[in-house]
């Protein structure tokens, strides 16, 4: 257990539905990252927060995706109008500058879109 | 960030050293080499990182060649729990946006 928690761990939804995932980082970490991982591939960067500010978004993050970190603590990732291609593991990580920029990953949320 | 190349898989016997290679021939002078691993059904886990000197911690050793174009991660006494995908990542350690760019990694299988 790294101290980063994600909920839910698994989500099955029908195409067209909206889903929201939550990430609780390690409490003193001011940086929070979202990644997506499909089968057989390494994780791909989606977006990054420093405190409550969203500082970078990948081109992978279409307009159906939105992420927030309202008080600089937990974060949510919402996918609207899900598609089968959204099926993946969604990973959250947090870090604190200076600690080797080591990122601590949560266990992920596995999304299956039927 | 520079690109890395790793073989797709390797195996080793339990108790023996596992030497995982990584090529990063386009690495820049200010880029660090990081290693993470991902055990099945878990998130990635940081192992070690270095710039140009060899590094060692409680998990592994990192050997970086003098020209910095390649490196080797060494697990000195592999156990079955070390079976995982190992990712070699090169990135600038500016402390600003420190996103990780993962490749496919190398799958290490430790056999009894």
B74-111: per-residue pLDDT in tens? 999 999 999 999 999 998 766 555 788 999 999 999 99
Residue A74 CA, distance from chain mean position: 11
For A112, other C-beta atoms within 10 Å of its C-beta total 13
Tokens of B68: 């910095």
Residue of B nearest to A55 (CA): B97
Torsion of Cα atoms, B25 then B31 then B33 then B36, to 10°: -120
Residue in the block written with tokens 């890395």 = B4
pLDDT tens digits for A28-45?
A: 898 999 999 999 999 999
Chain B contact for A44, CB < 8 A? yes
Query: Three-state SS for A107?
Result: coil
**Span A51-64, mean pLDDT?**
90
8 Å CB contact between A106 and A7: no
Sort out which chain A residues have CB atoms less than 8 A from B42's CB and list them: 105, 107-108
Chain B contact for A101, CB < 8 A? yes
Looking at the partner chain, which of A42, A44, A105 has a beta carbon nearest the beta carbon of B45?
A105
pLDDT tens digits for B39-56?
A: 998 999 999 999 998 999
């Amino acid at each position: 257990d790294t101290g980063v928690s994600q909920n839910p761990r698994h989500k099955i939804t029908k195409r067209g539905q909206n889903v929201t995932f939550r990430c609780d980082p390690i409490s003193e970490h001011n940086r929070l990252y979202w990644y997506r991982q499909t089968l057989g591939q390494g994780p791909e960067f989606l977006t990054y927060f420093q405190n409550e500010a969203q500082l970078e978004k990948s081109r992978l993050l279409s307009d159906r995706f939105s992420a927030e970190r309202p008080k600089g603590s937990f974060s949510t990732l919402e996918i609207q109008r899900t598609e089968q291609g959204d099926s993946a593991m969604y990973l959250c990580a947090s870090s604190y500058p200076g600690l080797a920029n080591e990122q601590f990953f949560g266990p992920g949320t596995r999304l299956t879109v039927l | 960030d520079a690109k890395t190349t790793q073989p797709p898989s390797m195996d080793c016997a339990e108790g023996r050293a596992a030497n995982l290679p990584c090529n990063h021939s386009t690495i820049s002078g200010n880029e660090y080499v990081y290693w993470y691993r991902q055990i099945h059904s878990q998130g990635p886990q940081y192992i070690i990182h270095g710039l140009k000197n060899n590094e060692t911690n409680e998990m592994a050793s990192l050997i970086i060649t003098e020209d910095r174009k390649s490196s080797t991660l060494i697990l000195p006494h592999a156990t079955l729990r070390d079976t995982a995908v190992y990712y070699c990542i090169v990135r600038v350690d500016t402390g600003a946006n420190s996103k990780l760019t993962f490749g496919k990694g190398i799958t290490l299988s430790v056999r009894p």
